[in-house]
Amino acid sequence: MSTESQSLHSRPRRRPSPLAVLALALFAFLGVPGAATATDLAGFLEKVSPAEIFPGADRYGAPGGDPTAAPVFKGDSRVGYVFLNSDVVNSNGYSGKPVQVLVAIDNAGVIAGAKLVKHHEPIVLIGIPQAKIEATIARYVGLDVVALIKGAKRDAVDVVSGATVTVMVIDDSVVQSAVRIARAYGLGGLERQTGAAPPVARKVIDSARLDVLDWRTLIADGSVARMEITVGDVNAAFAALGNPAVAERPEPGAPDERFVELYAALVSIPSVGRSLLGKNEYRALQGWLKPGDTAILIAGRGRFSFKGSGYVRGGIFDRIRVKQGDRTFRFHDRDHRRLAALAAAGAPKLKETDLFRISAGGGFDPAKPWRLDLLVNRPTGPTTKVFTTFGLKYTPPEKYLKTIAPPPAPVPAAASAPAAAPGAGVAKDRSGPPLWLKLWQRKIWQIAVLSAALILLTAIFFFQNWLARRPRLTDAVRVAFLVFTLVFIGLYAKAQLSVVNVTAYLNALITDFRWEYFLNDPLIFILWSAVAISLLFWGRGAYCGWLCPFGALQELLNRVAKALKLPQVRVPWGLHERLTAVKYIMFLGIFGISLYSLSLAEKLAEVEPFKTAIILDFARDWPFVTYAVALLIAGLFIERFYCRYLCVLGAALAIPGRMRLFEWLKRYRECGSPCQRCANECMVQAIHPEGNINPNECLYCLGCQMLYYDCERCPVMIQKRLKRERRAARIAKEPTLAMFEPASRKVRADKVGAGD
């Protein structure tokens, strides 16, 4: 067992002019931040001075080569190279978009500078202070990449609590890209890779070996690797870090108590796979794997879970990784399958038994040794934690390998062919389907659930008249849907829309619009598509009233407040009407600033409490938490307080919502004059004293429609019911009167009676 310590850290409605419709349509469509492309190195170099990224340097050379890098000079001497991590390796983070770091490496293969230049990580953009991430990145300066290639251990790097996946992606991408640049450009005495390596004999898995073995044999011959870690091992590993904050929080229990017992095996080896999985599961494995894919079985038991629960939200398993040479492989939830149990005779009953897939094209060689790293974390403070790593080495048994002869050597290029640029010929790891398709495949069941919910909501709106006649059912459906919105869309999927999406989309239209950027986040894409369509039918109410997690949280808490008999404040109409303008002023300000500086607009969008309450689960600095809690407390007494007066996203949606094509909410002539019942009961005061509904403020809760059909509460319906009852009473006394009852009146009475 090898151990490596490391931390990762209303007025009457007027139709807008065609020009206004065209302008406002921009607000109604999708909006997610764009990502940079692999050609952005030159653009970033224009914004970062040579001395800022490489101390003492005074100019850049032209970017080129493969992987792409720009030489950096001090006077006439080339002192190293500058590159973008996302140009060399996959650096997609929690958001599914690249976390881009500009890295400088000197001629000796030592990192001379690193700077975060672009990202779309929601946890950093709207939660964790970016300065903490930048401080972590700055610690890569001085890292000897050549020494790492030769087997040296790394110093610890602190992680930012709450941004584990993001920091892991940064760590992997910076180190791996630096290693590839060092190899490709021959830094630190390494042999430069100027083209494809000459063909040599190599070992591959022998697929002809199909023998089935028992558990004892599999352990004995190394087909299954085993590692047991005790509580004492964990405490000793953390103590070796020399961090007092870590030592103060030892793992409880006896030193010899089992912390975790871990097993790993390469089930792509037919004999090993058939032995451990059994006939049926092994056949299912073949259907799951694509040509060239590799499958690894990881199983364990003990107090520590090697899976944890973080992958459920982030999609990345942050407690395990596979390392082979200078490559690191992490697992996404799309590359994971659970197993009920091991099929090998004599195998123990283990708490967790799972399969993980490494896709073809990633550079993993199943015939070579690899190491499974188990990352165990321990908090060092309220916002920081440290990881220590335990390594389980795996070497495929020789009996399952065979040697194949090298292919014929390629015909040499003509002497007149131009020389290759430095680093040319190194293959880029960009095979497989596009990123957005992988992300959709990974979240297929979440997409199915959200799509089903949107279909249900559409049915609710289309059949709202039938539903509104049944107030108890309507109320139960609404509460259930709000709970779904809060729990699934918000707390689980983190698919809370933001005004940041609107401003970023509009900026993308002006600069570099690409569909693949919008497709990279499937749930956000689907929600924005639904919002764009619903604006034409129901205005902002479909999203703000039913699909906004923070709005659902406010309404559910207010229902609890009412159940507890907390007093409800009704804002005077004159004051309410003026306060509703605040959110529009705020939105126009943020939008105007976004045209000048999108990053500044994103900071001003902190007026939205969505990030604190929904995305980060209140795990933020106290000013943000205090602000969000204050808004929720205000909502206990003034229903949907934030939605009414401060929601800039609601304002952004209300503007194009004026273009809706249909009027679905019914009103009586008596509404507003003299009856004020609906206006008084509207939860957000969206009904004017004159009786008309303000579509800018209506959240489409259907409360007024339930009242519209209520024969016990609506004055108009009460009068109709009383007339009907008096008429029925007269007919009961004198049955012959029924003969003279007009047919049209009978029909009207039947229709009105349907609301009883």
337 strand-pairing partners: 355
| SS3 call for 378 | strand
Q: Residue 348 is encoded by which pair of tokens? A: 């123990």
Please name the amino acid found at residue 87: D
Please give the share of the chain, as a percent, with pLDDT higher than 70.
Answer: 78
Q: Are 608 and 587 in contact (CB under 8 A)?
A: no
Report DSSP state, residue 675. Answer: B
Which pTM value belongs to this model?
Answer: 0.50
Question: Rounded to 10 degrees, what is the CA torsion of 472, 478, 484, 490?
Answer: -150
- CA dihedral sign of residues 20, 23, 27, 28: positive
Q: Say whether 727 sits in a helix, a strand or coil.
A: helix
Q: What type of residue sits at position 414?
A: A
- pLDDT bucket at 754, cuts 50 / 70 / 90: very low
Strands 100-106 vs 59-60: parallel, antiparallel or unpaired? unpaired
Q: Which residue carries 């040697």 as its tokens? A: 403
Q: What percent of the chain has pLDDT above 90? A: 29
Cβ contact 122:619 at 8 Å? no
**pLDDT greater at residue 73 or residue 408:** 73
Secondary structure of 282-351 as H, E, C letters: HHHHHHHCCCCCEEEEEEEECCCCCCCCHHHHHCECCCEEEEECCEEECCEHHHEEECCCCCCCCCCCCC
198 CB-contact burial (10 Å; exposed 0-12 / middle 13-18 / buried 19+): exposed
The arithmetic mean of pLDDT across residues 178-207, rounded, is 78
The number of residues in the chain equals: 756
Annotate 593-623 with DSSP letters as a single string: HHHH-HHHHHHHGGG--HIIIIISTT-S-HH
d(CA 85, CA 98): 9
User: pLDDT tens digit string along 468-525?
Assistant: 889 899 999 999 999 999 999 998 888 888 887 777 666 656 655 556 556 767 888 8
How far is CA 628 from its chain centroid? 21
Query: In whole angstroms, what is the distance from residue 302 CA to residue 143 CA?
Result: 36
**Distances in Å between the alpha carbon of 287 and those of 210, 281, 293, 329?**
18, 10, 11, 22
| Residues 149 and 326 sit within 8 Å (Cβ to Cβ) | yes
Alpha carbon distance 679, 704 (integer Å): 8
Q: What is the pLDDT of residue 12?
A: 38
Query: How, if at all, do strands 401-404 and 320-324 pair?
Result: unpaired
- The answer to whether the beta carbons of residues 163 and 121 sit under 8 Å apart is yes
Look at residue 11 and tell me whether its pLDDT is greater than 60: no
Range from 156-160, 303-307, 709-713 that averages highest in pLDDT: 303-307
Cα 525 from Cα 547, distance rounded (Å): 14
Alpha carbon dihedral 478, 483, 485, 488, in 10-degree steps, equals: -150
Q: Residue 17: pLDDT above 50?
A: no
Distance (Å, rounded) from C-alpha 614 to C-alpha 486?
Answer: 8
Least confidently predicted of 131-140, 261-270, 682-691: 131-140
Phi/psi for 450 (5° steps) reads -65, -40
Q: Using pLDDT thresholds of 50, 70 and 90, give the confidence band for residue 422.
A: very low
Sequence-ordered list of residues with C-beta below 8 angstroms from that of 149, at least 6 positions apart, any chain: 109, 179, 182, 183, 190, 326
Structure tokens at 282: 């092994």
CB atoms within 10 A of CB 706: 22
Helix (H/G/I), strand (E/B), else coil: 666: coil
Neighbour count for residue 165 (Cβ, 10 Å): 23
Distance CA 499, CA 653 (A): 9
Mean per-residue pLDDT of the chain: 79
| Nearest partner of 324 among 273, 272, 263, 394, judged by Cα | 394
Tokens of 547: 């699909």
If one compares 284 and 413, the residue with the highest pLDDT of the two is 284
Question: Please, which residues bridge with residue 57 across strands?
Answer: none
CA distances for 606 relative to 120, 499, 508, 722, angstroms: 15, 10, 21, 54
| Closest by CA position to 320, among listed 269, 328, 312 | 328
Tokens 């407690």 belong to residue: 319
Q: What are phi and psi of 194, to 5 degrees?
A: -105, 5
- The CA angle 610-577-23, to the nearest 5 degrees, is 65
Per-residue pLDDT band at 14 (split at 50, 70, 90): very low
Question: What pLDDT, in 10s, does the model give residues 20-34?
Answer: 333 334 333 333 333
